[in-house]
Each structure stands twice: as C-alpha cells, then as structure tokens.
Structure 1
Amino acid sequence: MSITERLSRGFVIFDGGLGTMLHSRGLSAGVLPETWNITHPEIVTEVHREYVRSGAEVVSANTFGANRLKYGAKAGEFCLENIIRAGICCAKAAVGDTGALVALDVGPLGKVVGWPGGVGFEEAVGYFSETIRIGAEAGADFVLVETMNDIYELKAAVLAAKEACDLPVVATVVFDASGRMMSGSNPAAVVALLEGLGVAALGMNCSLGPEQMKNILPEMQKYASVPVVVQPNAGMPHLEDRKTVYDVSPAEYATHMREMARAGARGLGGCCGTTPEYIRKLVGALEGITPRPITEKKLTMISSATHALVIGEQPLLVGERINPTGKKWIKEALLAGEYSEIAEEGALQADAGADILDVNAGLPGIDEAEALKTIITELQMITKLPLQIDTSDPAAMEAALRVCCGVPLINSVSGKTESLSAILPLAKKYGGVLVGLTLDDDGIPTDVAGRLRVAEKIISEAQKHGIDPKNIVIDPLAMSVCADPDAALTTLKTVATLSASGKRTLLGISNVSFGLPMRDSLNASFFTMALFAGLSVAIVNPNSAELQKAYRAYLALSGLDENFSEYIDFAARRAAGGEAAS
C-alpha cells in the first residue's frame, strides 16, 4: 500500500530524529552523516530497525544531505550514487517484511536558490533531480522533501521529483514561531504551491517543538485538501554538560501529538531530539483516536512567495501595465533588454493598490520566453504580489511557469482545440489558476448561451486532465461597445449567470471603452456594474482614480470593508494628494 493510500485511510507513523541517534552512536561533528551508509551500515540499519520496532511505519533513509554540491568532488566509494544506494539499502534491510515504507529523504542544498551568490532555479532542479532519480532507482517507496526553509527551493525540489520519477511526494517545511518560513512564506502560500504541484501530503517539521507546531496546524488545515504531516523537534535545544538536550520529554511530546492528531494531522513523527522512545509513546497516545476526515476545501487560490489570495472572497485587482500593447516605453525597454525598469512598474502598481500583477512580454523581435523569465525573476525580488502570466505562446508560458515562485493566474486557455491541448497539460504539471476565455474555433459567441457553452467546454476538458474546476476562472470577454452597443450587457449577463452558479469570473475592464472618449468614466461605470454582477477579478490600471473610487465605494457599500476603514483611508490619501474628499 502506497503512502498516499495509507494517509487516506488513517494515521501514519513516521520515524524520529536520525542525526540525534547517529550522534549518540559516535558520529563526530564535521563528519557527513551520509558517509556512515558505507562506513557504518550496521549502525544506520540498526537505528532504522529500532524505529520500526517502536511502531514507525515510515523509515527515512540516511540521505538528507546527499546531493551533488556535497558529494560532487568525491569519487569511488563515496560518490553520490553509492551514498544514496547504500542509504536506501540500509533502510530496506531494517524494514524487511514489516510493511513499513522507505522514504528517500531529500533536504535543502545548503545554498540559496534564485538569488545572487546562490544557485539558479534550474541548477537547483538539476541537483535535486539527480538525487531523486538515484533514490527512486534504488527502491525508495516515496520521496520526502523535508526541512525546507525557502519556498523557491521547495518548488525546485518538488518539481524535480515530479520530473525525475513517478513516486508520490510528501513535502514538509520549517516555520518559525510566527508561522513564517525563512522566505517569509505563510502556511496558505505553502499549501497553495504544494497542492498546485500535486503532492500526496504536506506539512511541517523541525525548528519548533510540538506545542509551538500545534499552534500553526489549524492554519494549514484551513487551506489543505491533502493529508497534513507534523514532525516537531523534542522541544527547544539547550546545552547541558556540553551536550545538546531537548526540553520536552517523550510523555509530554506524545500528549501534544495526540492533540494534533485530534486536530486533523494524519502523518505524525519526530525530528531533532526525538528517539524511538518518543515514537513508542506517540503510538500509544494515538490509541482510540479516530482520524478526522480529510476535506476538500474548494478554494480557488493563487499565491506569491509570501502569501496566498483566495479568489471569490472579495474582488481582486490585476495591475495591467506590464504589457507592451499601447505602451511605447515598455516596447523600447523590452527591445533593449532593460527588464529592471519594467519590474519597477510592477512595484508602482503594488503601491497603487493592485493585488496581482499581469506580466506580458509579447512583442515581435524578442525572445518572449527569456523576457518573461527575467521580468518574473526581477519582480519576485522587489514585490510580494502574485502574478498573472499573460502569453499566447505555450513555450513562453511553460518557461514562465517554471520560474514563478507561487501559484499564478495562467492567462489564458480558450475553447480552441489547439489552446486546450497546449495549455491544460502545463496547468496540470505546474499548478495555477486557469483563465478560460469564452471563445472557440468558431470565434466569440455573440450571446450569453454561447459563452456559457464555451465555458463549460473548457471546464470539462480541464477535468479530463485532472484539473479541478475550482482552479478555473472564466473570462466572458469584455468587448468594445463602440463596435457593438449590446456588448457590455451580454458580458455582464454572462458574469451574473456564471457567478450565480458558483464559478469565478475575470474581465479586462478597459476593453469596453475602446474607441470612445472619457474612457476612464466608462470603464469605472462598467467596472461597478460588473462588480454587482459578481465579478471575481478585474484587470485594470490601478493608477486610475476613477476605477479606484468605484472599487473602494463598492467594497464599502457591499459590506466588504469593515467599519469603512479602507474607504476612509483611501479618501484621506486622496485628500492628502490634493483632491477634495467631500
């Protein structure tokens, strides 16, 4: 039975600290623990065996630090392949015919990913892929990506696992006491990213004791639709007689773990400072507890490195200005390769109130894929906003999806056969919320029924690829009323119908006024009408005063602005800028 099946049926007991046990058996400081797979395999195997005897159903192989950066210069006996194969061999020998599973333990690389002085994202994927491929071939039952402090490195490791093997992936991260990773990521951002990448389970390990971890668990449970794994330390470490000891006893630990099991955790084990005795006490503490059901949250989530947004809770604004269409200076910057200037535009839109940033680099004469990758990388260094990747080129879309540190809006897929076949596999592999355009091989339907039909086609085809309907936002296409006076009403009726059926919607607002004077006034009025029709996401110029007034007024009048605090703050800022607030 796979780890996925076991977690779906009930509690799964993971093992405890391996380093703790090896140090107690003589591993000296400065010695790479994984070398003991070759020099002391009998000790490594016996430690695994002790955990199995204590009740562990998962044994993590001694491969935590096994990667090319640590073992690349080593040849012969201590080459990377020998280290990993020996580690899996020790774990499998300990498991024997007990039915326990062997996890290929994959830890951080030890270098920052995606920043100057570290390793590039694709370089990191390559390092992880090599380790995972060797471990899978050696017979691991699943991949355990653990102790991740940085969400970008987390993505690199999980993506590598998906590309290097067919094994299930479980991923756990490190939070501080405030519930943030070192990269600033909160639990919602972690859940959004990992579920988008299709992990079998997710959770947290290390850094915190069980009491502190217990406080973060509800936030993970709030968003997670897959099983949650918790592997805390044995409390906080301190020195006694020059030895590191931990302040939570096996009995105390088991009491806290019992509470986390009652709260919904499915995978339970230990990390630093825990021993087979801790796992034995944990097993006893779970007796008589029925696991809580794993519930599908049905949340439409996008995310950046730091936080997630739930589409549908309140209308969200996508800043539209990183787009060469109609913007001479962006065209010139793209042609000159001056991407930092373009990224600065993203920061300005964030300051103006955008929730999400659209990124479009579609311009003849440039390498669109490289431009998107570079702009996205720059944006991720200076803003915290989730992104909308906006391209009609599938190759450019994939390049952008790989480097995006979070769950983006994927703009777009349509009902056209070519679009569906090119974009749906990318959304399934990388995760993201699809923007579905209501046009197909016959063009844009002129009536509501026709656009609804295309929307249903997109959703149906996406489901065939394993994409949940919750991860699709429908764009009924705002068209210029100058060309068709009924265009706005048709779009608004489609938004209202989709919204009434529980679907999320998106519109590019400014299209409606193309070819007419006083565009801001028309856009703001159309925007307000769309909001009251149930619009979920609007692509707008966040610097438009008229649109911002309409948006803030709508939130205030719809009960989405508690005590009118945002509206009053907005009015005060406008007044400070010289505009009358009356």
Structure 2
Amino acid sequence: MQDIQRPLDPLGPLLAAASLSHQPVVLDGGFGQLIADEYPHISQKDGLWVSGAAARMPNVIKDAHTRYLEAGADIITTATYQASANGYKAAGLVATEAEADALMAATVGLAVEARAEYVEAQAEATSTGAAQKRRPLVAVSLGSFGATLGNCSEYSGVFGEGIAAQDVYEFHLQRFSMLARCLSTDALRDQVDLLAMETIPSAVEAGAIVRALDELGQRGTDLPAAWIAFTTRVPDQTGLGEPIEDAVAAATSSSRICAVGINCVSMHVVPELLANISRVSPVPVVCYPNGQTWLGSAGGWGDASAQVSPSDFAKHALEWAQSGAHIVGGCCKTTPKHIRTLVDAVACAGGVPTPHV
C-alpha cells in the first residue's frame, strides 16, 4: 500500500481521547429523515431533501442540531447533503451564484450557531464558568452526485447515459469551490472542522472527489479534511459492484481524506462490511448505518416495527467500535434518542471521550 504523509486533522484530538478511554467517537444521527418524519408536511418535490427545508425552516434545522448536541454527539453534520448551486436554482430558492453561496453559508451557519450556543450554555451551567467543556466538531455534509439527481442513483452509482467520471469530478469541483467561498466569510472562517462526503456508491466517484480536493489544494484553496462514507447493499462490494477494497484505496489515495467508512446501509451488512474496510484502511473508520431497512424508491421503508430501538442500536454500535469503527453514529431512522442512548452506553462502558476548548 502506498505510504501517504497525512497532515494533522481535526479528528486527531477526538480520536486520541477515544483511544485512551477505549471508546468510539460519537457522530449524530439521521438528519433528513428525522425532519421528514417529524414534519411530514414539508414538500420534498424540490429534490433538495433537508437542504430545502433549511431554506424554508431554519429554526427547525437549528433545533435538530441542538438536540443532537444535547444528546452528546461529538460531531454534528450540516443540512447540506443535497445542496448545490444548480439544485438551489432549480428549486426556485435562488437566482444567482451569489445567492446560492449565501444560502449554503446560512445553512452551514445553523450548525455553527447551534454549537456556539451549546458551548456557551455549558459554561453558564457550571458554578465557576471554568470547567472543561465539550466542543463538538461541525462536519459539512455533502452527498453523492447522484443525490442531486433525485432518482436514488446515489445507491447504485449508475447516474445515467452520457454522464462520465469527468462530469462527476467537475460537479464536485464546482461544489467544493462554492463551499470554499462560503467558508471564507467572516461568519464561517475557522468554524467548520471537516467534510462528510456521504452515501458515495463507487470507487469511481471516490476518485473524482479526491481528485477535486487535490485540484483545489494545488490552486491554493484548502478545504477542511474530509471523510468518505460508502453505501452498498452487500458486504464486499460498493453500490456499483466494485470490490470494497478498491473503493477504500481510491478514497485514501489523498492525504486530504482523514477517515473512510460506510453510511446509509442496512445494519445486517455492517459487521462483515466493517471487517473488510478495517482490514485495508490506513485511516480511521466511520460507521453510521440506517436504523431501518430501505427497500428502494418504489418500496420505501420496511415495516416500521423493524426500526431498531435505541437500546439495540447502542448495543450494536459498541460492537462496531470493538470491530474497528473509530467513529459511530446513525443515518436514516436514527434519532437524538438513539444517540443519547449510545452516549450513555459509551459512558457505562468506560467513559466518553471529551475534547476541550
């Protein structure tokens, strides 16, 4: 395996504390599905999922961030999974590139503001105001190219005829450039800790992502370190059908990738899939599967009675940590209650890793 010099990344302090306590770092739970379940009247016809809701109901989004922070999450993700300039324009939310930048910056800002208020509340809750505080990380969530198409192709990696790897690369390059402009504003400068590249279905797209990140870096535009989380239905291949080891190799070919793993997968494939990834990954592993089985766009979610309970989720999450996952959390159909139960389970098992300001 190629030896790549990896710079220090924001996960370092969290992972070091987690290693000392032999416990995982805790990620937040499902975001878009949480909002959809709690606010079913929100229209999803614009194809922007929670990114559209962030424009229409920012207070709801900020409250969800706060709930995950209060549940004890060490990392929270932004409501930008399907955000893109073209998507915003198609939904009628913006008319210009500048307006798209402003909307994305405002959406990322909701997580940053929620964290600032959470940290301040911790200080006020102490008798001296000088107690050690948790400062959770903020990760900008960015989905697959397929997630912006609204056809569930982020699960298969088959984006349609005429769409080549170069198109996927250019999409990510444009969106990273957009994000870089957002993070250079006074409100967001030095406030975002990392990127969460989520629901990536193929080694091909992983390669496009790292190529785009490297290209921006070569231009002098450095974004925070990123993780890449793959999605699949089977334990040994990507959604597109490539060996999962090839996907890990493609993702970790750049020093800008600080972790690799899986999200939006069924829990039953996690143990073997996690073992296959952990065996070859040169970076920490992140694991955040669904809490219920997704049957596809035609079938929707499986039987609601099959949704994993918070206690069972926490039990499995600790097992994933013992099997090689350094960061654990939940994707669709996991809630702040699932994360709170996991945090409590981590504490009972030996103590929660505590980053300090």
TM range (shorter): 0.7 to 0.9
Shift of 1:77: 8.2
CA distance in structure 2 between the aligned counterparts of 1:246 and 1:69, rounded to whole angstroms: 37
After superposing the two structures, state which structure 1 stretch, 160-169 or 54-63, moved more.
160-169
CA distance in structure 1 between the aligned counterparts of 2:28 and 2:106, rounded to whole angstroms: 19
Does structure 1 residue 102 correspond to structure 2 residue 138? yes
Give the counterpart letter for 2:10 in structure 1.
S
Higher percent of residues as strand: 1
Q: Counterpart in 1 of 2:233?
A: 176
Task: Provide TM-score, normalisation by structure 1.
Answer: 0.46
SS in 1 for 2:82: coil
Residues 495-506 of structure 1 mapped to structure 2, 5 A cutoff = none
Give the counterpart letter for 1:200 in structure 2.
C
Residues 412-431 of structure 1 mapped to structure 2, 5 A cutoff = none
Please say if residues 124 and 153 of structure 1, whose CA atoms lie closer than 8 Å, have aligned partners that are also in contact: yes
Please say if residues 13 and 56 of structure 1, whose CA atoms lie closer than 8 Å, have aligned partners that are also in contact: yes
Deviations 1:380-433 (A, max 9, x none): xxxxxxxxxxxxxxxxxxxxxxxxxxxxxxxxxxxxxxxxxxxxxxxxxxxxxx
Shift of 1:275: 0.3
Does structure 1 residue 160 correspond to structure 2 residue 212? yes
Shift of 1:216: 1.5
SS in 2 for 1:200: strand
SS in 1 for 2:252: helix
Residues 132-531 of structure 1 mapped to structure 2, 5 A cutoff = 132-136=176-180, 137-138=182-183, 139=188, 140-164=192-216, 165-198=222-255, 199-209=257-267, 211-237=268-294, 246-287=306-347, 288-289=349-350
Q: Counterpart in 2 of 1:46?
A: 63
CA distance in structure 2 between the aligned counterparts of 1:228 and 1:19, rounded to whole angstroms: 23
Shift of 1:246: 4.8
Aligned residue pairs, count: 290
Residues 532-547 of structure 1 mapped to structure 2, 5 A cutoff = none
Task: Provide TM-score, normalisation by structure 2.
Answer: 0.73
Shift of 1:160: 1.9
Deviations 1:141-198 (A, max 9, x none): 2111110112212221232233333311111001213431122122311221122123
Change (3 A) 1:183 1:8: farther
Shift of 1:8: 4.4
Please say if residues 85 and 101 of structure 2, whose CA atoms lie closer than 8 Å, have aligned partners that are also in contact: no
Shift of 1:76: 3.6
Deviations 1:70-97 (A, max 9, x none): 2344534894323311211111111113
Give the counterpart letter for 1:106 in structure 2.
L
CA distance in structure 2 between the aligned counterparts of 1:253 and 1:175, rounded to whole angstroms: 20
CA distance in structure 2 between the aligned counterparts of 1:117 and 1:182, rounded to whole angstroms: 17
Please say if residues 233 and 272 of structure 1, whose CA atoms lie closer than 8 Å, have aligned partners that are also in contact: yes
Give the counterpart letter for 2:291 in structure 1.
A
Please say if residues 150 and 183 of structure 1, whose CA atoms lie closer than 8 Å, have aligned partners that are also in contact: yes
Shift of 1:267: 0.6
Give the counterpart letter for 1:179 in structure 2.
D
Change (3 A) 1:246 1:133: farther
Q: Counterpart in 2 of 1:2?
A: 10
Change (3 A) 1:99 1:115: closer
Give the counterpart letter for 1:101 in structure 2.
L
CA distance in structure 2 between the aligned counterparts of 1:117 and 1:95, rounded to whole angstroms: 42
SS in 1 for 2:145: coil
Change (3 A) 1:77 1:40: farther
After superposing the two structures, state which structure 1 stretch, 269-278 or 2-11, moved more.
2-11
Please say if residues 139 and 196 of structure 2, whose CA atoms lie closer than 8 Å, have aligned partners that are also in contact: yes
Q: Counterpart in 2 of 1:123?
A: 167
Q: Counterpart in 1 of 2:30?
A: 17
CA distance in structure 2 between the aligned counterparts of 1:243 and 1:263, rounded to whole angstroms: 28
Please say if residues 148 and 154 of structure 1, whose CA atoms lie closer than 8 Å, have aligned partners that are also in contact: yes
Please say if residues 206 and 271 of structure 1, whose CA atoms lie closer than 8 Å, have aligned partners that are also in contact: yes
Q: Which has the larger radius of gyration?
A: 1
Shift of 1:248: 1.2
Deviations 1:329-370 (A, max 9, x none): xxxxxxxxxxxxxxxxxxxxxxxxxxxxxxxxxxxxxxxxxx
CA distance in structure 1 between the aligned counterparts of 2:344 and 2:273, rounded to whole angstroms: 24
Give the counterpart letter for 1:218 in structure 2.
A
CA distance in structure 1 between the aligned counterparts of 2:306 and 2:101, rounded to whole angstroms: 34
2:109 aligns with one of 85, 89, 100: 89
Give the counterpart letter for 2:145 in structure 1.
L
CA distance in structure 2 between the aligned counterparts of 1:60 and 1:69, rounded to whole angstroms: 22
Does structure 1 residue 30 correspond to structure 2 residue 45? yes
CA distance in structure 2 between the aligned counterparts of 1:21 and 1:180, rounded to whole angstroms: 28
Give the counterpart letter for 1:169 in structure 2.
A
Shift of 1:30: 2.0
Shift of 1:290: 8.6
Change (3 A) 1:84 1:118: farther
Q: Counterpart in 2 of 1:574?
A: none
Change (3 A) 1:44 1:241: closer
